[in-house]
């Protein structure tokens, strides 16, 4: 019997970001696991609806993808999330799987880990990003999504790992979490930082990266920092574009297979 893999991400409505980050990982999985049925799923129903309405582009949610596996007679299923932390979206996958298994008891479903799960993941991510040495007056700020889930502390742990790996002027702030950009600005000034490189710590360089981080809109991070007198260079590259980050997801999938 054929086996199946569901590649599950939050999703994005930006086609370019989808191709660069999500599809590039999916293609690597299809290449490695040629005998498996590989399906895409988004966990954001809002993005699924937006794509359907705007582009007539259909993407499965987790339930739809599991139903498609069932329709194709696939009973051994592996789900690899492309989420960053084990927060609400990851738990959404677990709930959907539980419901499906209650109704289909002869199925086997295993769920892989998101990017940041074990301690070793943090080190792998920091090293895998291959950051170049910064000048004393330069800093990097990563924009994480953030969450009201308790795993929001993952972003603090990530910043701590950067410091442990020798990146003193690398910071992590979030859009919706506890680590606010405003908290970092006094530290930057205290260290006499002049130039800031802004990068998304998200799977895709989508809406948050383009609008909230890099745009010239009044409340974007770029604008906030420029008003504070910093030179700002935004880099629009999702984590899913970085081969070493893809490797971590591939390892997490390999571990459950």
Annotated binding-site positions for Co(2+): 10, 145, 176, 208
68, 235, 243 from 137: Cα distances, Å: 53, 18, 29
Gap between the Cα atoms of 249 and 236, Å rounded: 21
First-last CA distance in the chain:
15
The token pair that represents 4 in the structure block? 């199946």
Q: Are 240 and 246 in contact (CB under 8 A)?
A: yes
Instruction: Output the known binding site.
Output: 10, 85-92, 145, 176, 203-204, 208
The residues annotated with a catalytic role in the active site are 145
SS3 at position 180: coil
Residue 65 backbone phi and psi in degrees, to 5: -65, -40
In the numeric block, the tokens 């690398």 are attached to 170
Evaluate whether 243 touches 129 at the Cβ level (below 8 Å). no
Q: Which residues contribute to the annotated binding site for substrate? A: 85-92, 203-204
Distance CA 44, CA 49 (A): 9
User: SS3 helix, strand, coil % of the chain, rounded to 5?
Assistant: 45, 20, 35
């Amino acid at each position: 019997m054929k086996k199946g893999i569901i590649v599950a991400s939050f999703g994005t409505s930006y086609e370019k970001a989808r191709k660069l980050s999500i599809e590039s990982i999916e293609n690597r999985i299809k290449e490695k696991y040629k005998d498996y049925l590989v399906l895409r799923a988004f966990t954001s129903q809002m993005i699924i609806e937006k794509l359907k309405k705007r582009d007539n582009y259909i993407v499965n949610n987790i339930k739809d993808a599991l139903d498609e596996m069932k329709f194709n007679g696939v009973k051994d299923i592996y789900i690899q999330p492309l989420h960053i932390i084990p927060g609400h979206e990851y738990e959404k996958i677990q709930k959907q799987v539980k419901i499906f298994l209650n109704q289909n008891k002869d199925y086997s479903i295993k769920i892989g880990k998101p990017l940041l799960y074990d301690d070793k993941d943090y080190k792998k991510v920091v090293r895998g990003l291959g950051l170049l040495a910064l000048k004393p007056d330069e800093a990097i700020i990563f924009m994480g999504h953030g969450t009201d889930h308790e795993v929001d502390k993952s972003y603090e742990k990530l910043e701590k790992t950067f410091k442990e790996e020798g990146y003193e002027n690398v910071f992590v702030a979030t859009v919706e979490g506890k680590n606010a950009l405003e908290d970092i600005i006094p530290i930057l000034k205290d260290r006499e930082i002049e130039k800031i490189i802004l990068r998304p710590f998200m799977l895709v360089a989508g809406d948050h990266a383009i609008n909230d981080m890099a745009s010239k809109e009044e409340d974007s991070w770029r604008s906030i920092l420029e008003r504070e007198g910093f030179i700002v260079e935004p880099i629009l590259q999702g984590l899913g574009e970085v081969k070493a980050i893809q490797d971590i997801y591939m390892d997490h999938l390999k571990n459950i297979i």
